[in-house]
Amino acid sequence: MKQFQYSAVGPDGVVLSGMTSASCELELDADFEERGWLLTSASELPRKRTGAVTRLKRAELVQLASTLATLNTAGVPIREGLNGLMERTTSPRVRALLTEMLSQLEAGRSLSEVVEAHPRVFPRVFRASVSAGEASGSLGRVLAKLSEHMEWAAAMRATTVQALIYPCLLLLAIGGLIGILLYHVLPNIVGMLPGGVEQLPTETRFVLSVSHFLTSNILVIAGSIGLLAAALIGAEKNLKFRARTHRLFLAVPGIGSLAAKIAISKFASTAAVLKNAGCDVFTMLSVSARTVGNAALEGALHRATARVRAGQALSRALEQEPLVDPLLVQIVGVGEQTGNLDQSLADLAAHYDREVPRTVRRTLGLFEPTLLIVAGVVVAFILLAAMLPIFDMYDLLG
């Protein structure tokens, strides 16, 4: 199939231009004539790998969902709206994707079929929402909710990353300082002192032995760390190993509870969007479970889904999983009783939207002073080890 840039006039006199695919210009002209359009111009585009588009930036995906929602609500045809968006975008990656989407829409495929054909571009929650929105006839409302959900997820991610920047920089600075003291300062100070190593204080000999071990085996240590990291990355591909490590991570004081809140927040927000879109409870649970980012919790949610398939109520199925937040169980129970589960899940997501930043600040509020105290003790011990020989030399001279 070849790609064509076309211009055509519709039955109502509206001029439409865009890109589509056809085997030749004659087939393109015949296709437009069958739909009652008059093809006024068509030019073949140079071949390019539009199928190479495998991922969009989060901001680009949010913009696409928001634009589609606005166009659908305003009554603008999807193809016309995508064509206008393609003309306005400055991103070659987005332009290539929109070109391919327009080509598939022109071929008679629905929007849900088009997004399903790009699983690496559109997340599963995006694809499920579009499919449910088309089936229920509320695509515009669903896409609007979806764009809000993606913006919320991006904001939560940015908040967490921003909160971790200072501790990471602090840890790097402290590690660098300790490295300078061990590799440079202490050996130089000790080298200026008379006598052998045996005459040095115990603290100094201990720090020197640590420094000598690190200096002599730096390549072995670096290689071992690299091999361990590679082994862990490889082991993470094993579902059972990943579930065990993620379960252990949830048990870490402070950080584990924060990770659990973020995971349940993602689940509740995604489930609210899908439920609002009209998805059945099984699709809602299976898709939402994949967004939590923790294999142990994902497994718990999948087991709860299996119980729901067997006939249990959702709240009862979740209650049997100890990793699931009791607040989620309670809110789901209320939603089932009132018949307003999507709103209950949205309220829970809003609660976590407020609670997670507070938990991040509280956790880091304890982590940062603890890190400073531990680092201060280590640095003070190294400096003491460096100064003790000097003090002993002054005592001998005095």
In a shared domain, residues 34 and 183: no
Domain boundaries, position 391: 166-252+368-397
Q: Lowest-confidence range among 139-153, 250-264, 294-308?
A: 139-153
Question: To which H or E segment does residue 215 belong?
Answer: helix 202-216
pLDDT value for 94 = 81
Cross-strand partners of 22 = 2
Q: Which two tokens stand for residue 317?
A: 């199925």
State the average pLDDT over residues 163-188.
Answer: 79
pLDDT(48) > 50:
no
Please give the average per-residue pLDDT across 84-95, as a whole number: 79
> Is residue 73 included in any domain, yes or no?
no
Whether the per-residue pLDDT at 214 is higher than 50: the answer is: yes
One domain for residues 246 and 391: yes
Q: Within this chain, do residues 322 and 265 fall inside the same structural domain, yes or no? A: yes
Instruction: Return phi, psi of residue 42, to 5°.
Output: -155, 130
N-terminal to C-terminal alpha carbon distance within the chain: 94
Identify which has the larger pLDDT, 125 or 327.
327
- Which pLDDT belongs to residue 52? 47
Amino acid residing at 104: Q
Query: Per residue in 12-21, pLDDT tens?
Result: 666 666 666 6
Q: Are residues 188 and 262 in the same domain?
A: no
* Confidence band, pLDDT 50/70/90 cuts, at residue 49: very low
263 with 337, same domain? yes
Same domain, 248 and 374: yes
Q: Are residues 247 and 173 in the same domain?
A: yes
Query: Quick one: 177 and 246 in the same domain?
Result: yes
Indicate if 5 and 37 belong to the same structural domain. Answer: yes
- Confirm whether 64 is domain-assigned: no
Q: What is the pLDDT of residue 182?
A: 78
The answer as to whether 314 is a domain residue is: yes
Residue 70 lies in a domain: no
Residue 105 inside a domain? The answer is no
Same domain, 383 and 234: yes
- Residue 93 maps to a domain: no
Reported confidence tier of residue 152, pLDDT bands at 50, 70, 90: confident
Domain assignment present for 120: no
Tell me: do 269 and 339 sit in the same domain.
yes
Residue for token pair 């603890």: 370
- Exposure b/e, 203-233, CB count within 10 A at least 16 = b: bbbebbeebeeeeeeeeeeeeeeeeeeeeee
Average pLDDT of the residues in 42-56: 59
In three-state secondary structure terms, 325 is coil
Closest CA to 3 of 120, 86, 106: 106
Q: What is the pLDDT of residue 51?
A: 44
Q: Which 8-state DSSP code applies to residue 181?
A: I
pLDDT at 385 over 60: yes
Virtual CA dihedral for 65, 70, 71, 72, nearest 10 degrees? 90
Domain count, the chain: 3
Q: What is the pTM of this model?
A: 0.60
- Residues 197 and 232 grouped into a single domain: yes
Task: Using the predicted structure, report yes or no on whether residue 79 has a pLDDT greater than 60.
Answer: yes
pLDDT for the residue 205: 80
Q: What is the CATH number of the domain that holds 269?
A: 1.20.81.30
Residue 98, classed as helix, strand or coil, is: helix
